[in-house]
A and B are shown apart, each in its own frame.
Chain A
């Protein structure tokens, strides 16, 4: 209460000083906004990356997933023996165990006829195993020989392809001297690992990649009987099957985390974007320090006069901090707004899910306040030299 009363009777010297030199103020705000935009973009891309790379994992409709222990992420999958699926079916609580094949292929873009790499997935056409409504509506189609459906969210030039398919036609293209037919689309989205995805039945997959064996599968999808706890069944399966060390048993959450952790730890991407955020932060500190120290220098005589009048050093430090906080808050707003616009631009350009979250502006605002406070602390070192006696 005392503090609030004290604050109310105080002349807002920091604000008055800042607002009196509008051009300097705008430079400072622009600098802070810029630093904030840098940080927002880095964080946005980083999150979009993690999110986009786990869309496929999150689309998997299984309670428990089997995977090779050597698999590193969805685009770099090793295989394991299909026999493990049959063994799993014996365990109480297991309702079904189906196989999924994943591989990377080089195909000719049906529109540009240029070669590019896409991800191919083979699933059972008998029941939905992925949470992709369009796929599940076309399960009959993928039973047909060499019929595939393609990701509408793929990165690259495919507008013609989609237009034709929307008009009811099919599109053909070549993969390794075989011809396939694209009869439909679904929506998944590109990731850093794969520009696009083709999905079909297990049979079509194996036909397409003859070097793959039917007995070696990429993922095993286990559904648990109603009434059984997935964690417990997973524990039992682990006991049963992990002796041979050729299969890994994961719950759905663990499966999603597995993919996240790969991109966080084993690729340089996490480091790169965190470094990007740090650089944006440092840019901000430097710009704000420049403004604050110029401001302190400009008012050194007045500050010395205040000291002669009996004001304490702590009062003057308070003025600097007042300026730092005002700059942080005012600079953050344009930074945030510009970032929203840039997010949309980036979304359209990269097809990555770059979105503003609720937590991120709070985080960046905190960083901005810390950034301005640090600049303020460094700038106050200059204040020590505002000695009234030196003016004579």
Chain B
């Protein structure tokens, strides 16, 4: 094993990436906080929009990553616990950012609509998606043989992702019968001027890099955990064997 593994989960590449994310994040905060003009209707609440969109983007990318890695695990030719670790890491990051998304969305909603929650189809689907993947993580956390857990998780990961459209469609129909369209459509009443477009673009880039950085560390950590478990077992066996020989 190389020295980088002994010293943790960071490598030169990931450190450069991390520095880029930090710099980008700082620039993003300055742009969002000071350069962006306050919206006429939403005032300062509009500053949350670029972060909000980028958070949603990251969460959906992460769940897509889980689904893809799960499929690779399920294909016999590419079956490897590495795919399982990637799927799990991606789902963890997705759940983290989806929780942030909902939290930020609720703050924004309270500022703009005056209520924390509306039974808007998009909101409701997002909340259900979060619950689906919390369940996925719960299944990953059960004890037992890692092969078995990986197989079940992979199937659940694929199913959960495939059901996003049908959940969304049903919630949309359900909402359409219940209430008039939301007064404040997210994309309706905000002028997308140049500074907003730029900050949107910047936040998408920064969040994408952040996803890659988090993935690198989380997957490496998971591999170290697996190695630790295997080594622990090996040394225990060796110790018992030594006892037996004596």
Chains A and B bind each other: no
Name B's A-contacting residues (CB within 8 A). Answer: none
Name A's B-contacting residues (CB within 8 A). Answer: none
